[in-house]
Structure 1
Amino acid sequence: MFESRELSASVEAARDVYAPDVQVLDCDRDFETLPPAQAEDLGLLVNSLEPASYPSAWLPDDAPTLLARYVSSDLTIGMPGDGSVVWTRQTEPPLVIVKPRVEGSPDAFVDFLLAEAFVQLDLEVPEQFLGFFEDEYRALDQAVSLGPNSTYQVAAALFDGWVGLQTREVFAGWHDDHPELAAAWQDAGTRLEDRVSGLPRAVARGETEFADATELACAAIKHAIELPAPFAALDTDAYRDHGPEYAIKWAEKTFDSLAE
């Protein structure tokens, strides 16, 4: 199911800088969360498995089943919304896993996704949003007047945006040492600009759900493109510095405004 992935020269150079010990694997089956048996199979490829676990008290009673599984002692790699490339520190050495859904994507974009994973590992950000919100996830759940799955989506998006505030500072410095990756980063941002600028109109017309809009806007933060209200308030040093507390206040203010 897994095999070592051959890396381009630019990705190899990025790995040497940010995550020299990481193994990069191709997975022959697509997944959101790796099935338990396949996750355990990774033990044949690494030195050890170190499943993460969190207090179940951090979750609201109606949390999605997968999130409840994630806080348990089960080895859970990948969660809905993680995208085409996932990484984990629940193995030694850490792993980056490429899903088959990348097929058909431009090689330069896939290279960027791999380099992004290395940077995130180097920054030592949490693996999933629950490690970011911790026991404040209940407060976010109270602030977001949506169902449990949409609340999950908003939480994952807010975490992605917070990570993006940090990674984009690294990406912006790539022009000299990693020009191919810098170009891919900028190109991906350019492709998002029109979609992001039209989000308020799409939400107002009912063409886009608010959780989907939050996901797209927060994904754009790492590309340093201009965000419309109310998402522009997340593109700030205050969010980078204050994290969950700021995210919850943003959610409270935003959903109060939507209810008016």
Structure 2
Amino acid sequence: MFETRTLPSDLESVRDEYASGALVLDVAGDFDTIPPEAAENLGLVVESLSPAAYPVEWLPDDAPQQLRRYASSDFTIGMPGDGTVTWSRQTDPPVVLVKYRAKGTPDDFLDFLIAEAFVQAGNDEIPEHFLPFFGEQYRDLAAATPLGPSETYQVAAALYEGWVGLHTREAFASWEGDHERLHDAWVDAGGRLDDRLSNLPRLVALGRLSFAEATEFACSAVKHGRDLPAPFSALDTAAYRDHGPSYAVKWAEKTFAQLAADDDAASGGESDSAADDADSA
């Protein structure tokens, strides 16, 4: 199921700098989460396995079952929203896993995604998933939103990705001149986001994107250093980089309170207009 991937020289250099010893493996099948019995096959290619587990008290009562399994002692590699390339420190050495779906990804961009995984996996301050990032504050985030459990998961994953991007984009920018191909792939991918970023508020207002989808898109742009529209621009700040989950929870509280106030104002305006029409009749 796992096959060692041959890396070009610039990727080998990035691995040596950020995550020396990490294994890059092509995965024969596609997955969000590798079944535990299949994930244990990683033991054949790494020195040891160290399954992570987290307190169930961190989870709201309606947390998705997949998140509950991730928090348990089951050996869980990969979660929904991880993307084409994912990584884990639950093995020694760490592993970077390239999913089967990567076969349709342009080579330079795929190599950037692998390089990004090296930068993340090699930074011990970056947790492997949003659950250890939020910790017990995940319940606070869920309480701060009017969303269902699946959309709350989506927002949490997006907020985590944005925070990670604040910690990694300086590395990507530094590759100019040294790892030009990877730097160019990073710049090109960011530039492709700009048109949709500028239209995010309108797309949400028109119902063409959910708030969770818009948050996901905006936060994916943080690592590229793109300009974000409000209210997402508040996530591209030193305060978020420094305060992480507590800042994210406060952002969610303020954002959803403002959205509710805007809805009330709009409803009030419609009621006033209807009353005026009735009076004139």
Higher gyration radius (CA): 2
Unaligned runs of 5+ in 2: 262-281
Counterpart code for 2:227:
E
**Alignment length (residue pairs):** 260
Counterparts of 1:144 and 1:8, CA distance in 2: 44
Residue 14 (structure 2) aligns with: 14
**1:1-260 mapped onto 2 (5 Å cutoff):** 1-124=1-124, 125-260=126-261
- TM-score by length of structure 2 reads 0.91
Q: Which has the higher contact order (CA 8 A, sep 6+)?
A: 1
Report the CA distance between 1:176 and its aligned residue: 2.4
Report the CA distance between 1:19 and its aligned residue: 0.9
Deviating above 2 A after TM superposition, structure 1's stretches of 4 or more consecutive aligned residues are none
Counterpart code for 2:258:
S
Identity, in percent, stands at 63
SS state at 2:192 partner:
helix
Report the CA distance between 1:13 and its aligned residue: 1.2
Report the CA distance between 1:140 and its aligned residue: 0.3
- TM-score by length of structure 1 reads 0.99
Report the CA distance between 1:171 and its aligned residue: 0.8
SS state at 1:25 partner:
strand
Report the CA distance between 1:179 and its aligned residue: 1.1
Counterpart code for 2:99:
K
Report the CA distance between 1:67 and its aligned residue: 0.5
Report the CA distance between 1:16 and its aligned residue: 1.2
Deviations 1:76-106 (A, max 9, x none): 0000000000100001111000001111211
Counterparts of 1:145 and 1:42, CA distance in 2: 39
SS state at 1:158 partner:
helix
Counterpart code for 1:239:
Y
Report the CA distance between 1:188 and its aligned residue: 0.4
Unaligned runs of 5+ in 1: none
Counterparts of 2:84 and 2:12, CA distance in 1: 19
SS state at 2:87 partner:
strand
Report the CA distance between 1:12 and its aligned residue: 1.2
Counterparts of 1:8 and 1:81, CA distance in 2: 27
Counterpart code for 2:36:
P
Counterpart code for 1:113:
L
Residue 278 (structure 2) aligns with: none
Q: CA RMSD in A?
A: 0.7
SS state at 2:30 partner:
coil
